[in-house]
Amino acid sequence: MRKAFISPAKYVQGEDELLNLGYFINTFGNKALLIGNTQDIERVKVQLNKTAEKYRCEFIMADFKGECSKVEVARLKKLAIEKNCDCTVALGGGKAIDAAKCVAQGEALIIVPTIAATDAPTSHSAVLYTEDGAFDDYAYFKQNPSVVLVDTKIIANAPVRFLVSGMGDALSTYFEARANYHSYAAANAGLPCGSQEESIAPARQTMAAFALATLCYQTLLNDGIKAKQSCHNKVVTTALENIIEANILLSGLGFESGGLAGAHAIHDGLTLLEETHHYYHGEKVAFGTLAQLILENSPSEEIEEVLDFCLAVGLPVCLADLGVKSINDAQLTAIAEKATISDESIHAMPFPVTVDAVKAAIIVADKIGQDYKQYGTFTK
């Protein structure tokens, strides 16, 4: 059986770690294209100046326009060539990170997340949008980032909602990896699978991938509430350090090497509802996780454990928590159809999944979440 494990070359995390950015730039040269929005760069201008002086490196400010579009990526690539940049540095959240991935094309890429809202920093994929912000395409690169550098002091000073959203994204990691484990699905996105032209077998998850996905879930349960309070008070504690690692590293390695399944597919379907557009990726994934648990008829005790966690940290447990006050059958059908298109991750579940099954799972997950919020139980 062919197995594979996908990861960045280096992951470094700690307080004031941004001061060491110049060291990693020096491993490629001394000139870096810095991709980030103005606000994020201004927040850490002092640290950037210090690391540039200490390591004698130069930042070429890209003036990122805010959208990871093909037009913006082309502009940034041209700038990198004109300025003879030795590497690319992404500073900020998802779109800046994805734009930097598209510019670097899998070479000499340093990711510096300023929030821990998703597990995107470690992955070798990106999402492209139109200049108007509509979804355009996915992009995959030959390898993951060269360095992921996480300054926990910066994360601690970011809005708490970002950290909680990251916990929602990380919450799905274990359950989706478990589904892939039982279905023997090809878990490693972006690796070549078999075709008529090439006889390369699909890659299954390694023991390491499943172990990291399991640790991710255990860490959320153990440290999630404490980490939220740490972030609320803008201080770095062991719990916050652990949750940052869970949100970014454990979840990142777990999803890319362990596989996605129902939760992310249902998230994709929920994006059809305009009301959900005001909510973050991880917030929608959290509800998608509950729907996946209903889909696979998980034990009540496990569902209650997930509900308790979500309510404790402030993640959605029903559609109303995502701004959806009412939903009709046509909308449910559209969501379920999008979640079950042929190339969606929901087909990694260890049983056939139909549109009707997804509709039923969403309805039941919504009702269970409502009842649990109101009564503290759904088994009455």
Helix-strand-coil percent breakdown of the chain, rounded to 5? Answer: 55, 10, 35
Shared domain check, 219 and 80? no
pLDDT tens digits for range 13-25: 999 999 999 999 9
Residue bearing the bigger pLDDT, 221 or 127: 221
The CATH code of the domain that includes 224 is 1.20.1090.10
Q: Is residue 3 part of a domain?
A: no
Q: Which of 264, 268, 321, 366 is catalytic?
A: 264
In contact, 123 and 144? CB cutoff 8 Å: yes
Q: Is residue 380 part of a domain?
A: no
pLDDT tens digits for range 131-163: 887 678 889 999 999 999 999 999 999 999 999
pLDDT, residue 265, reads 95
Q: Which of 156, 188, 205 is the last residue of a domain?
A: 156
Q: Is residue 2 part of a domain?
A: no
pLDDT, residue 195, reads 46
Q: Is residue 4 part of a domain?
A: no
Nearest-CA neighbor of 77 among 109, 51, 45?
A: 109
Reported confidence tier of residue 1, pLDDT bands at 50, 70, 90: confident
> How many domains does the chain fold into?
2
pLDDT tens digits for range 157-194: 999 999 999 999 999 999 999 999 999 887 776 676 65
Q: Which residues are bridge partners to 291 per DSSP?
A: none
Backbone angles phi, psi at 121, to 5 degrees: -55, -30
Shared domain check, 91 and 105? yes
371 is catalytic: no
Shared domain check, 164 and 135? no
Shared domain check, 308 and 286? yes
Shared domain check, 313 and 170? yes
133: tokens are 């912000």
Q: Is the pLDDT of residue 300 over 70?
A: yes
The CATH code of the domain that includes 103 is 3.40.50.1970
Q: Is the pLDDT of residue 361 over 60?
A: yes
pLDDT, residue 306, reads 98
pLDDT, residue 380, reads 59
Do strands 31-35 and 58-61 pair parallel, antiparallel, or not at all (unpaired)? parallel
Rounded mean pLDDT of 301-328?
97
pLDDT, residue 16, reads 98
Q: Is residue 186 part of a domain?
A: yes
Shared domain check, 126 and 21? yes
The set of residues, in sequence order, having a beta carbon less than 8 Å from that of 172 and lying 6+ positions away, is 255, 260, 263, 264, 285, 286, 288, 289, 292
267 is catalytic: yes
Average pLDDT, the chain: 94
232 is catalytic: no
Helix axes 207-232, 300-313, angle to 10 degrees: 40
Shared domain check, 14 and 139? yes
Q: Which of 156, 181, 198 is the last residue of a domain?
A: 156
Q: Which of 40, 98, 169, 268 is catalytic?
A: 169
Q: Is residue 114 part of a domain?
A: yes
Share of the chain above pLDDT 90, in %: 87
Rounded mean pLDDT of 308-333?
98
124 is catalytic: no
Q: Which of 223, 281, 321, 366 is catalytic?
A: 281
Query: Which residue segment(s) compose the domain that 19 sits in?
Result: 10-156
Rounded mean pLDDT of 34-40?
94
pLDDT, residue 72, reads 97
